[in-house]
Structure 1
Amino acid sequence: MAGAVTKVYRSLFRRTSTFAATILLGAFFFERTFDVTSEYIFESINRGKLWKHIKHNYEE
């Protein structure tokens, strides 16, 4: 376990530039994952109530 922590520290967190890049990439992927997941949950809860689900009833 200590060896893995040391490798992660040396490869990602030792230099400020790689630390900042790691934080930025982590934030980007977290945001995308959170956005897709929350959109899926919202659409699952509101299935049949959203405009894209009922639009065919009102279009000519």
Structure 2
Amino acid sequence: MPAAAASSGLSRTIYNTFFRKNSVFVTTIFVSAIGFNMGFDTLTDKIWDDANKGKQWKDIKHKFEQ
């Protein structure tokens, strides 16, 4: 029973903080989406750069500049 009470308290706190007012709910969604987008873009760019190291212009342009 104590675990259920703690879970209920946590659920109530989350609800009262993020979902009770529509303006806060929508703001939470937008901030979360933007944060996820930035993190995902950074991660995929890092993976792409690691997989193609030495093949991209930023890696070889020093060979062609005088």
Per the TM superposition, whether the score is higher than 0.5 is: yes
Structure 2 Cα separation of the partners of residues 2 and 40 of structure 1: 40
For 1:40, the equivalent position in structure 2 comes to 46
TM norm structure 2: 0.87
Structure 2 Cα separation of the partners of residues 33 and 2 of structure 1: 31
Residue correspondences, number: 60
Could you say which structure has the larger radius of gyration? 2
For 1:24, the equivalent position in structure 2 comes to 30
Shift of residue 2, structure 1, vs aligned partner: 1.8
CA-based RMSD of the aligned residues comes to: 0.7
Q: Which runs of 5+ in 1 are unaligned?
A: none
TM norm structure 1: 0.95
Structure 2 Cα separation of the partners of residues 39 and 2 of structure 1: 40
Shift of residue 5, structure 1, vs aligned partner: 1.2
